Structure 1
Amino acid sequence: MTHEPTELDTPILIVGGGLGGMAAALAAARHGVSVVITEHTGWLGGALTTQMVPLDEHRRIERIGANGSYRRLREELREHYRRFYPLTDRARRDPLLNPGAGWVSPLCVEPLAAVSVLESMIAPYRASGLIRTLMHCRPTRVETTGDRIDAVEFARADGSPVVVRAEIVLDATETGDLLELGGIDHVTGKESQAQTGEPHAAAIANPDDMQSGTWCFAIEHLDGEDHTIDRPEQYDRWRDARPPAWSGAKILDWTGPGEDTGLARPYRMDVNPDDDPAAINVDHRFMPDGPELWTYRRIAARRQFREGFYRSDITVVNWPMNDYTDGPLLGPSAAQHRHGARQLSLSLLYWLQTEAPRPDGGTGYPGMRILPHVSGTADGLAMEPYIREGRRILALETVREQDVSVEIRGDRAARRYDSSVGVGHYYWLDRHATTGGGIPVNGRPQPFEIPFGALVPRRVRNLLAAGKNIGTTHITNGCYRLHPVEWAIGEAAGHAAAFSVVNATEPHAIHADADKLAEVQARLVRDEVELHWPEDARW
């Protein structure tokens, strides 16, 4: 019988197996530096898999504005479907195959397909020993000496501990777990205008007022069948709830918070439409006034596959109706609010099955079926809630609203950084209703850059942020938190960590030394990372 070690040593420790962590691990391993990557669930992929959130991307993603490794991820996802799924001939020939034909992104896929592809991408490095994964390991303690992290202790699924010592540590967790455990200077929630100088920042800071999280789930609809779940314990509460951002409307209704106006916005749902998958418009600049929810995050469009392979489309329910605003999903009250978020999502499902108004004048869709085989869980809810905003480091450089906002910068490009280690974009500074009752105010960002200093904490010398925990604000987090940006952040962190190990240096020294930073940037460019947008790129 073999026994897992209780202590490990590694040049680089990456805590969190989401997209940022995966990109970091691949970057370090490509340059011959060993990493240990930990994940507290059983799946790699984070937001794309355990949280069941299809890729959120910008309108230029097929041409520019993404790392080469992210493009390979996308093409591997498409090839996975071509190789293993019974696609129609038309879908198979489509170079821009979108298996779900969802309109949130040009590429909507099932979580298990993404897990398979991510596992295959790291398989060679696992075989060589350059990447070691520790699954079902949750960080519980951070050992420090002065301004350095010595080790991180984890609890395995059975409760037994394992300690990992490393030269460089990357926090790629969804909520910035190491920042709290290690006493690393960070911020949560809304900053004040006095703190950031942002025109749309709050008058008074509120660390508990952050973007709502959402507990996603996948559904299909089987007409003539009854898959109604048991009435959730909190159903009465959520059926009657009228959160502040809904302007008096009920949360379980075909409405949601409007952008900027504070007025409720209508939504609609067209179940299993006879639509043409190739006709889906993914350009959010042309989003209709009454957005259609069924196709928005659809991850399997039955008409993309051989007739009869799917009895129904499969769509992910990540809608305004299950945005949880009662409190943050991290911190001292996390357990209470995680339970509440799960109850809200189950209540939404039950409402859809029993009380939702239908276009034909009836109520309820009893044929709605939640899909545990898609989520990988017993109850069909995602393994983890979708976390839009967690802890953020107090960084050497902080990206503020005035650095990216179209409304502030006009036709000028976003701020250009000499220290850029990647680029990103999205349609909006995408802010949902908040846990403090805030109404979304969705500004627009110009195509932006990722400054290296945003990955480096002010004090701790051997830590890098490798996900949505970089130096952004409550406002700019709304566009720097999306899938391709998280990947770019992680890849930059992996490069910087590998450079630090090989050259016996540290992230602060890279940031302070123009020659060192230029070498890291040159390595990024050789690995097909875009550091700047074309001069004429605008929203």
Structure 2
Amino acid sequence: MKKLNADVVVVGGGMGGVAAALAALRAGRSVILTEQYEWLGGQLTSQAVPMDEHTWVEQFGVTASYRELRDGIRGYYRDNYPLNAQARAERHLNPGAGLVSRLCAEPRVAVSVIDSMLAPFTGSTKLTRINGVIPVSATVDDTIVRSVTVRDVTTAEETELTAPYILDATELGDLLPLTGAEYVTGTESRADTGEPSAPEHAAPDNVQAFSWCFVVDHRDGEDHTIDKPRDYDYWSTYQPDFWGAPLVSLTAPHPRTLEIVTRAFTPTIDDDPFARIADQRAGGGDDELWIFRRILSTKMFEPGHLDSDVVMVNWPMIDYLDGNLIDASDDDAAKHRDASRQLSLAMFYWLQTEAPRPDGGKGWPGLRLRGDITGTADGLAQAPYIRESRRIISEYRVVEDDLSIAVRGHGRPATFPDTVGVGMYRIDLHPSTGGDNYIDVASAPFEIPLGAMIPVRLDNLLPAGKNVGTTHITNGAFRLHPVEWNIGESAGWLAAFCLDREVDPRTVRNTPELLEEFQTLLTRQGVELHWPDVTGY
């Protein structure tokens, strides 16, 4: 078996994994970074989901390196695309003018920027990148994880990775069962967490739906209708009890009110992309699905550059509710991934053949899958969009009472003495595999407590993504792009700090002098630890 060693091993190259690797590298440490898919960036790239962010992202509330990523994406468009004069003059350029985010852009551009951020360390040999692998085993000595073995998904070749610190940045917290770490899945009971939105009984298999996203454009007058998907008859009649219509339709519960509403979908819409700014305080922005997650708007570019807007489909109608990937057998997980892909293809085929048009007709045959944008042959994303992971049992668990404006009685920021970053998003849970409807809780801006990143027993395993010590409920506020990045970045700096001081993370958290020194380091590196006086939405 091939063996590799570094100061820090980061397993999983999503948002948290990239940020963790970058932090440890900038601290002067050697890093091995692994990723299952071709692209680094996770939910932003291989999963194809534009950045979900809070209202104040252009002013504060993210780390300096995350802002570097955002600025890099905008700079890439300014340097390489024929933006028109109005778009080029936009300080906060939004290439897609989508309403889900202030920065809706192509996944490939984000990949290029992430690669450029890591490039200096690849050239210096400090960084070893291994793509196309998954973790399959680990060796543990008492409270220390000694190694992780990864397997190539194509050749089955295995490589043993060793380091003083192992960071789990996988989408599902895959290292937790491999290392014997204590963790929880699904919904905790109300008696356990005290959360008003928690159910009476725990349900470990009840997790938020995952989705297989895809990207489309529209070629008016052309016919790009795909073959009828294999499972179309099943999905076209599938209807959850609380949905109010078939899942494959334009009708679904409103995430915040649960009212059954029908969205518009108009590929020929003639909107003004400069007229509205994405603001989650004003609503989800999904009344018109063509605009909602648009990643390229024709009116941002010189005439003739684009024949059509380009739109990323991550809508409620492709949320897969029939099964769970966490702790499933390989066969069951493969079955659910395939079924999710079939659901997305069924939705696309329905849009091409049956979706209502403003002229009274049905279907938009000019819709075209854009696999060139997702980096796939079939037009779907490379990877499923994961909303919920295994979660470590940690020294401190973030619960609904920490974040909920209703419970706290105010929207002032939630503070923790061991803060290692900040985040903000509504507690936004999609329908779940246990049959739950949306759960939406107005939440305050929050600090990220270091205690939520410290496993109760293992000393050198750190979470670097959605696997931190939250609950099923509070995961809904922690799972989005900038918070995952901040968690990963803080984990990377923490690993390097512990190596420099020859201490473990638990000691850092519980020794006031060390905690203050670490927080000072984070601040100097552009990690914001506190919020200004703002109110949640």
TM-score, normalising length: structure 1: 0.97
1:537 Cα offset (Å): 4.0
Alignment deviations for residues 324-359 of structure 1 (CA, whole Å, 9 cap, x no partner): 111113322311111111110000000001111112
User: Conserved in 2, the CA contact under 8 Å of 1:12 and 1:166?
Assistant: yes
For the Cα contact (< 8 Å) 1:102–1:280, is it kept in 2? Answer: no
Q: Is the 1:265–1:290 Cα contact (8 Å) retained in structure 2?
A: no
Corresponding residue number in structure 1 for 2:349: 350
- Quote the Cα distance in structure 1 between the aligned partners of 2:48 and 2:286: 24
The 2-side partners of 1:498 and 1:435 are apart by: 39
Q: Structure 1, residues 81-126: CA drift from partner, whole Å, max 9, x if none?
A: 0001111121112111001111100001101000000000010111
After superposition, the C-alpha distances for 1:398-436 in whole angstroms (9 at most, x for unaligned) are 11000000111122524310100000112x211111111
Matched, 1:489 2:504: no
1:413 aligns with 2:412: yes
Give the match for residue 365 of structure 1. Answer: 364
Residue in structure 1 matched with residue 94 of structure 2 by the alignment: 98
1:281 is displaced (CA, Å) by 2.7
Contact preservation (8 Å) 2:189, 2:198: yes
User: What letter corresponds to residue 239 of structure 1 in structure 2?
Assistant: S
Letter in 2 for 1:348: M
Q: Is the 8 A contact 2:411 2:443 kept in 1?
A: no
Q: Distance in 2 between matches of 1:322 and 1:210?
A: 15
1:473 Cα offset (Å): 0.5
What's 2:374 paired with?
A: 375
Distance 1:451 1:258, change over 3 A: same
- Contact kept? 2:442, 2:536, Cα under 8 Å: no
For residues 8-65 of structure 1, the C-alpha deviation after alignment (integer angstroms, 9 at most, x for no partner) is 1111000011111111111111111111110011100000000000000011000011
Letter in 1 for 2:339: G
Query: Which amino acid letter does the alignment assign opposite residue 471 of structure 1?
Result: G
Aligned residue for 1:462? 460
Paired position in structure 2 for 1:528? 526
Aligned residue for 1:423?
A: 422
**2:430 maps to which residue?**
432
In structure 2, the residue matched to 1:200 is 197
Kindly report which structure 2 residues correspond to 1:32-111, keeping only aligned pairs within 5 A, or say none: 32-111=28-107
Equivalent position of 2:514 in the other structure: 516
Measure how far apart 1:288 and its partner are.
7.5
Structure 1's unaligned 5+ residue stretches are: none
Q: CA deviation at 1:468?
A: 0.7
- Once residues 338 and 168 of structure 2 are traced to their aligned partners in structure 1, the CA distance between those partners, rounded to angstroms, is 25
Count of aligned positions: 533
Q: How does 1:196-275 map onto structure 2 within 5 Å?
A: 196-247=193-244, 249-259=245-255, 261-275=257-271
Which of 146, 155, 159 matches 1:158? 155
Pairing 1:400–2:399 present? yes
Task: Name the stretch that deviates more: 7-16 or 413-422.
Answer: 413-422
- Bigger CA drift: 274-283 or 25-34? 274-283
Match of 2:276 in 1: 280
How far does the alpha carbon of each residue in 1:356-406 deviate from its partner, in whole angstroms, 9 at most, with x for none? 111211101100100110111111111111000011111111110000001
Answer yes or no: is the 8 Å Cα contact 1:357–1:363 preserved in 2: yes
Q: Secondary structure at the match of 1:244?
A: coil
Distance 1:257 1:142 in 2: 43
Q: CA deviation at 1:261?
A: 5.0
Check the 8 A contact 1:246/1:263 in 2, yes or no. no
Equivalent in the alignment of 1:477? 475
C-alpha change, 1:113 and 1:290, in structure 2 (3 Å) is closer
Structure 1 residues 486 and 290: CA distance shift in structure 2, 3 A: closer
2:316 counterpart residue number = 320
2:8 alignment partner, one of 1, 8, 12: 12
Residues 245 and 433 in structure 1, CA contact (< 8 A), matched pair in contact too: no
Secondary structure of the corresponding residue to residue 291 of structure 2? coil
Change (3 A) 1:45 1:72: same
Deviation at 1:255, TM superposition (A): 0.8
Q: Secondary structure at the match of 1:176?
A: coil
SS at match of 1:279: coil
For 2:188, the equivalent position in structure 1 comes to 191
* Distance 1:176-1:263 versus aligned 2 partners, 3 A rule: same
Contact 1:174/1:390 (<8 A) preserved: yes
